[in-house]
Amino acid sequence: MSMSDIKSSDNKTSAATTNVLDYAISDQNVLIVGGGHVGLSFALLLAHQGIASTLIEKNRYPSISPNEDVKRSHYLDCRNTALSRRTVQIYQQIGLWEALQSHACRIDSVQISEQGSFGHAKLNKEEENVESFGQVMENAWLGRKLLLAVQNSPLINIIDGATVTEVVQSQTDVTLIYDSEAGNEQRLVGNLLVACDGRDSTVRNLLDIGTTNYDYQQCAIVGVVQTDTPHQHAAIERFSPAGPLAVLPLTDAAGDGNEPHQAGYRRSVVWVCAKGEEQPYLEDEALFLQALQKAFGQRAGTFVRAGKRGAYPLTRVLAQQQIHGRCVIMGNAAHTLHPVAGQGFNLCMRDAEALAKMLARQVMLGEDIGDGAMLASYEQARKKDQKRVIRFCDAVVHGFTNPNPAVKIARNLALIAFDKLPNVKPLVATYAMGLKS
Ligand SMILES: Cc1cc2nc3c(=O)[nH]c(=O)nc-3n(C[C@H](O)[C@H](O)[C@H](O)COP(=O)(O)OP(=O)(O)OC[C@H]3O[C@@H](n4cnc5c(N)ncnc54)[C@H](O)[C@@H]3O)c2cc1C
């Protein structure tokens, strides 16, 4: 049975919503626009608190049978996400980690260095006395497992293939108007609307919320590579004149005819080059491998194969406000960041967890989940963590791309100091793992 068979047909919307509310601890409900990783995760966090939601997604989801054993993604499939320890804890708390962990690869050490410089820094899990610094997860696996969990939740109603056209707010509720794939105009009423519809958020535009944008003039090329040396669970961050480069460990992929290359030779790469220069690296595997080798030296051994690459132009997009009446802007719709430090999704997850907990408290107290004062306090509570992560990502990008020789020497000294000063590493590690906000 496909997910669309279960919940997405438009003419079943109102009935499905009624059934959903039968399981909820309150008759208040949340409308979530955008079913990417953040929207799906937020719906699951709400369900964990007993709060019903309806998830409205623009695209049709693929059919996934609940009984189908989800196949391992392709050996060199392209996108991966570094999950911080905090994000892993959040998935553990909602009982999802068990399903996710078979495709998650532990990060035991983090190495930071710059091409053509002597300074470097290393974080080890033993020294920092932690289980790991986080896990690297295949996006395809994360998406499918989140979707299956959402599909199986009695508290989440899914409407996919829906184009949002209007948001109307009143004192007591919010109405979402959308066009179904069949071209029919439909309406949904909720107590709160949460927009998780990505960087170019339609809801944010409909609410007339402005953004502050910055074009890094860079493009991230992502892919999976194979090296001749096992990764030993090391995450390696390298800064080169072309841009930052991160190589992360991945789990093996069995059953695809690549068994001789198993046991830790598979890695995820995020390589950043100047905007407009990406095309040859997408088309020519040998050229891409050569560029990686040049930037990286032998830190990861020899790069021997690369899978299909994807390109992402890099912009920072920050919503000027994250609350508007009964609407909350979340995920990339609220803050799209440079991927240099692998912080974007992790920050979104901390936002999602915080809001889910505040809504649960409102429900427990019998209060309105769209209450303006409560939503304002959510925005206020999340500001510090968001600002810190945004500043950190920017400082890393700008600090390491400045070619000025004096700045380069300062960077070297900073890396050496970071490596040697006793109290700095644990603090940075704690922030990078998302354990402090
Ligand atoms: C190269 C790269 C590497 C990254 N690596 C990491 C990492 O290692 N760690 C990390 O923490 N973060 C990382 N990030 C950031 C992370 O990918 C994002 O923060 C995350 O994907 C945001 O998810 P989202 O659900 O908010 O947005 P999206 O993934 O953009 O999802 C938005 C969803 O909304 C839907 N939608 C859009 N418009 C509408 C509409 N009008 N109506 C209904 N639905 C709509 C879309 O179809 C989509 O499903 C990386 C980003 C990049 C570019």
User: Which is the closest atom of ligand 1 to the Cα of 348?
Assistant: 19
257: CA distance to ligand 1 center in Å? 31
What pLDDT score does 1 carry?
29
pLDDT of 159 over the 80 cut: yes
Q: Which pLDDT belongs to residue 256?
A: 45
Ligand 1 centroid – CA 115 distance (Å): 30
pLDDT of residue 24: 75
Pick the CATH number of 3-66+143-212+316-392 from 3.40.50.620, 3.90.1010.20, 3.60.15.10, 3.50.50.60: 3.50.50.60
Q: Which of 31, 58, 275 to mutate to test the pocket of ligand 1 (most atoms within 8 A of CB)?
A: 58
The second-level CATH assignment, the architecture, of 80-138+215-314 is: 2-Layer Sandwich (3.30)
Dist. CA 299 → ligand 1 center (Å): 30
Measured in Å, residue 41 CA sits from the centre of ligand 1 at 12
pLDDT single digits (tens) 80-111? 899 999 999 999 999 999 989 888 999 999 88
- Please give the pLDDT value at position 403: 63
Centre of ligand 1 to C-alpha 20, Å, is: 26
Residues of the chain with pLDDT > 90: what percent?
58
For the cut 50, the answer to whether the pLDDT of residue 255 exceeds it is no
| Range from 76-90, 130-144, 150-164 that averages highest in pLDDT | 150-164
Query: 390-417 pLDDT, tens per residue?
Result: 988 887 777 666 666 666 666 656 656 5
pLDDT band at 212 (very low <50, low <70, confident <90, very high): very high
Closest residue by CA, ligand 1 atom 2: 339
The residue among 391 and 432 whose pLDDT is bigger is: 391
State which ligand 1 atom lies nearest to the alpha carbon of 56.
Answer: 43
* Nearest Cα residue to atom 18 of ligand 1: 345
- For ligand 1, mutation pick of 79, 197, 204, 314 (most atoms within 8 Å of CB): 197
Q: Would you say residue 74 has pLDDT above 60? A: no
Distance 420 CA to ligand 1 centre (A): 36
What confidence score (pLDDT) does residue 156 get? Answer: 97
Read off the pLDDT band of 181 (50, 70, 90). Answer: confident
Closest Cα to atom 40 of ligand 1: 58
HEC sequence for the chain: CCHHHHHHCHHHHHHHHHHHHHHCCCCCEEEEECCCHHHHHHHHHHHHCCCEEEEEECCCCCCCCCCCCCCCCCCCCCCEEEEEHHHHHHHHHCCCHHHHHHHEEECCEEEEEECCCCCEEEEEHHHHCCCCCEEEEEHHHHHHHHHHHHHHCCCEEEEECCEEEEEEECCCCEEEEEECCCCCEEEEEECEEEECCCCCCHHHHHCCCCEEEEEEEEEEEEEEEEECCCCCCEEEEEEECCEEEEEEECCCCCCCCCHHHCCCCEEEEEEEEECCCCHHHHHCHHHHHHHHHHHHCCECECEEEECCCEEEEEEEEEECCCEECCEEECHHHCEECCHHHCCHHHHHHHHHHHHHHHHHHHHHHCCCCCCHHHHHHHHHHHHHHHHHHHHHHHHHHHHHHCCCHHHHHHHHHHHHHHHHCCCHHHHHHHHHCCCCC
Is pTM beyond 0.75? Reply is: yes
**Which ligand 1 atom is at minimum distance from the Cα of 248?**
8
If we measure between CA atoms, which residue out of 375, 326, 316, 315 comes closest to residue 351?
Answer: 375
Q: Taking 90 as the threshold, does the pLDDT of residue 296 lie above it?
A: no
Confidence band of 3 (pLDDT split at 50, 70, 90): very low
The CA distance from 315 to 74, in Å, is: 29
Atom of ligand 1 at shortest distance to CA of 270?
1
Average the pLDDT over each of 7-21, 125-139, 334-348, 395-409 and give the range with the smallest value. Answer: 7-21
- Choose the most confident range, by mean pLDDT, from 43-47, 63-67, 253-257, 410-414: 43-47
- pLDDT at residue 72, rounded to an integer: 46
**For the chain, which residues make up each domain, given as ranges?**
3-66+143-212+316-392, 80-138+215-314
User: Residue 216 corresponds to which amino acid?
Assistant: Y
Could you read off the pLDDT of 380-392 as tens digits, one per residue?
Answer: 999 999 999 998 8
How far apart are the CA of 331 and the centre of ligand 1, in A?
A: 7
Calculate how far, in angstroms, residue 302's C-alpha sits from the geometric centre of ligand 1. 31
Instruction: Tell me, in angstroms, the distance from the centre of ligand 1 to residue 35's CA.
Output: 9
The ligand 1 site (C-beta within 6 Å) comprises 33-39, 56-59, 81-82, 164, 196-198, 202, 220, 222, 270, 312, 331-332, 339, 342-346, 348
Residue 253 banded pLDDT, cuts 50, 70, 90:
low
When mean pLDDT is compared across 30-44, 63-77, 251-265, 299-313, the lowest value belongs to 63-77
Q: Which residue from 31, 79, 81, 139 has its CB within 8 A of the most atoms of ligand 1, so it is best to mutate?
A: 81
pLDDT of amino acid 381: 97
Tell me what pLDDT residue 406 has.
65
**pLDDT for 70 beyond 70:** no
**What was the pLDDT predicted at 157?**
96
